[in-house]
Amino acid sequence: MEKFTMRTLPVKLTEEELAARAQEHAEAEFKRADASTALESAAEDWKEDKKRLENAETAAIAECWRLARVVKYREEPREVKCQISVANGQYSIARTDTGEVVAQRPASNDELQMTLEEAAGAAVDGAVSDAIAAAGEEPEPDAPTLDAEPQDPPTEDGPVPQSEQ
């Protein structure tokens, strides 16, 4: 009884087989080049996706930290209307919703000067009102005060509008 086995051994190619293998090799090289280009493109896309995802993660982490702080301290930063005042040589900023003074410092000379000018204007307005009341006259509703913008006297054609000056 004869026994046989199969083994992979080198075999000389015919001219037709050699030409077919050369053609297969050229096609394989084109596939390899296409695969390399696709891999590089995918790597670039992945880098962009990775960067986008990292940025999204960073933003989510920052929002978590912000909200954790809000919950922990039971407060958050918001825009709040504040009143500025200069009194007793102090410049103060106070919240209008709670009255809490949030900043205070010595007033500058310019700030103190503005306060004196405002006080002088209010005093003159008060004195004029008192004088009119003592005379028993009603003040004119459109009577100018020191705080009002100066008006030019009317001309024969009427007052000159501010925009034409």
pLDDT in tens, 29-63: 999 999 999 999 999 999 999 999 999 999 999 99
Shared domain for 56 and 97, answered yes or no, is no
Is residue 91 exposed (0-12), middle (13-18) or buried (19+ Cβ within 10 Å)? Answer: middle
Is residue 138 exposed (0-12), middle (13-18) or buried (19+ Cβ within 10 Å)? Answer: exposed
Tell me if 99 sits within 8 A of 85, measured CB to CB.
Answer: no
Predicted confidence band at 165 (pLDDT cuts at 50, 70, 90)? Answer: very low
Number of domains in the chain: 2
Whether the per-residue pLDDT at 118 is higher than 60: the answer is: yes
Tell me if 107 sits within 8 A of 90, measured CB to CB.
Answer: yes
Of 5-14, 58-67, 132-141, 152-161, least confident by mean pLDDT is 152-161
Shared domain for 49 and 88, answered yes or no, is no
Whether the per-residue pLDDT at 164 is higher than 60: the answer is: no
Any domain includes 95: yes
Any domain includes 145: no
Record the pTM: 0.42
CA–CA dist 160, 96 (Å, integer): 40
Single residue among 28, 51, 77 that ends a domain in this structure: 77
